[in-house]
Structures are given as structure tokens and as C-alpha cells.
A and B are shown apart, each in its own frame.
Chain A
Amino acid sequence: DGGITQSPKYLFRKEGQNVTLSCEQNLNHDAMYWYRQDPGQGLRLIYYSQIVNDFQKGDIAEGYSVSREKKESFPLTVTSAQKNPTAFYLCASSGVSRSDLAKNIQYFGAGTRLSVL
């Protein structure tokens, strides 16, 4: 089945540690996104990538890093510089449609909950 797979589902970070969240898609989508969601809040864009080997900062990129070496994969690293990393992290992808308008529909993975030990 086509979809977006995020792993792990739950992740715990120790102080000073970098952790990496995985996001893989088999939808042949060009664009991929990372969002952060805090309790009772909307989605805030961390990074996005519209093509392999290229990515742009979103609204809250500080303390995070990404790579896009393959079309299918867009991992997010939460670095030790991110002092308040506890949140629900969502990966999404979009693209590949006969309709230009439908190309902007973002499909989401199941998310990763990150907590600090």
C-alpha cells in the first residue's frame, strides 16, 4: 500500500543528545514537509523539500536539521540546540497528480511523539 511511514512512534531524548526521526514515502511525491504540533496548537512548519538534495527552512527551523538524499526519504534530526523538543512531529508529502490543484494536497504520516527524559 502507498503511504507515509514515520518511525519510531515514540522517542525519548536525553539532555544534550541528538535524535533522528525517520520519514519514508512510497507515493512518488516530490515535496516533503516536517511539522511540529504542541498540545492544543496548530501545525508549525520546520523544514520542507521540493526536490532531492534541496530543502528550505520553515518557520521554526532553529535546533533542527534535515537531509533529502533520496526522493523517498526526509529524516529530521532534533539537535541538542533545541531546548524544548517535546512535541508531536508530523511528516507530510505532496505532489504527482493530474490536477495542478490536487498536487498541493498534503498527506501525513502517523507522527512521532518526542519526549525529554
Chain B
Amino acid sequence: QKEVEQNSGPLSVPEGAIASLNCTYSDRGSQSFFWYRQYSGKSPELIMFIYSNGDKEDGRFTAQLNKASQYVSLLIRDSQPSDSATYLCAVKTSYDKVIFGPGTSLSVIP
């Protein structure tokens, strides 16, 4: 089992819809969780991080964490074509390493 898993996509959503990106992790003791956005040919940039169970909202982005299910998600409301990118989930494990998932490619169709 890989340590951090994401659906590779591509995930296609129409403009204005909600995009839902999912991430599961294997280390039950993982402490904090990060979502990065990476445009094609560019480096990753942090969108949000979360460490408590529940939801954390920042503008159009909501991160959701369920430690019991070892699941973290990112919701993007009112998706825009500029949101088209690859989204990387990263997890800080109990053994003090940050592990990146393979990323999910999102395409927002105008």
C-alpha cells in the first residue's frame, strides 16, 4: 500500500461546479496535511494545510480531514478555468517525514 494515494484523474468539471479531490494515507499517526497546486511546467504552491478533524475554509477552498478514516479532501467551489492544474496532497507522518501523493489532474471546462 502506498503511503499517500490520490486518484490520478483527469478530473473534469464544468465551470462553476464544485470540484472534489480526495487523498488517503496509510500512517494512522499522521499529524498534518497539505494541499498544493501545481500548474503545468511550474513548481507546487501551497493552497491550504489542516491538522484538526473537520473542515477548514479559505475563500473558495475547503479542506476536510477525517483521521479515523485516514482521509483528507479538498473542495473547490465555483470552479474556474484558472483552477485547472494538478493538485498534490502531502502528509506529515508520525515518523517526521512529509510524503507527497502522486497528484490529481483537474480540468475545469468553460
Partners in one complex: yes
Determine how close the nearest CB of chain A comes to the CB of B5; give it in whole angstroms: 10
CB distance A108 to B49 under 8 Å? no
Chain A residues 29 to 60 lying within 8 A of chain B, measured CB to CB, are 35, 41-43
- The A-B contact count (CB < 8 A) is 38
Say whether B82 faces chain A, with CB atoms less than 8 Å apart: no
CB distance A109 to B43 under 8 Å? yes
CB distance A43 to B100 under 8 Å? yes
Say whether A82 faces chain B, with CB atoms less than 8 Å apart: no
Say whether A110 faces chain B, with CB atoms less than 8 Å apart: yes
The interface size bin for chain B is 10 to 19
Say whether B34 faces chain A, with CB atoms less than 8 Å apart: yes
Say whether A116 faces chain B, with CB atoms less than 8 Å apart: no
Given contacts A42-B88, A90-B43, A110-B43, contact A101 B102 (CB under 8 A): no
Say whether A104 faces chain B, with CB atoms less than 8 Å apart: yes
Interface bits A91-117 vs B (CB < 8 Å: 1, else 0): 000100000011011111111000000
A104 CA to B90 CA in the complex, in Å?
Answer: 10
CB distance B44 to A108 under 8 Å? yes
A102 CA to B49 CA in the complex, in Å?
Answer: 8
Determine how close the nearest CB of chain B comes to the CB of A23; give it in whole angstroms: 12
CB distance B43 to A105 under 8 Å? no
4 A-B pairs besides A104-B34, A106-B34 with CB distance below 8 A are A42-B88, A43-B100, A101-B32, A109-B43
Which residues from chain B sit less than 8 Å from chain A, CB to CB?
A: 31-32, 34, 42-46, 49, 51, 88, 90, 92, 98, 100-103
Which residues from chain A sit less than 8 Å from chain B, CB to CB?
A: 35, 41-43, 90, 94, 101-102, 104-111
A sample of 15 cross-chain residue pairs with beta-carbon separation below 8 angstroms, ordered by A number, consists of A41-B102, A42-B88, A42-B100, A42-B103, A90-B43, A90-B44, A94-B98, A101-B32, A101-B49, A104-B34, A105-B34, A105-B49, A106-B34, A108-B44, A108-B45
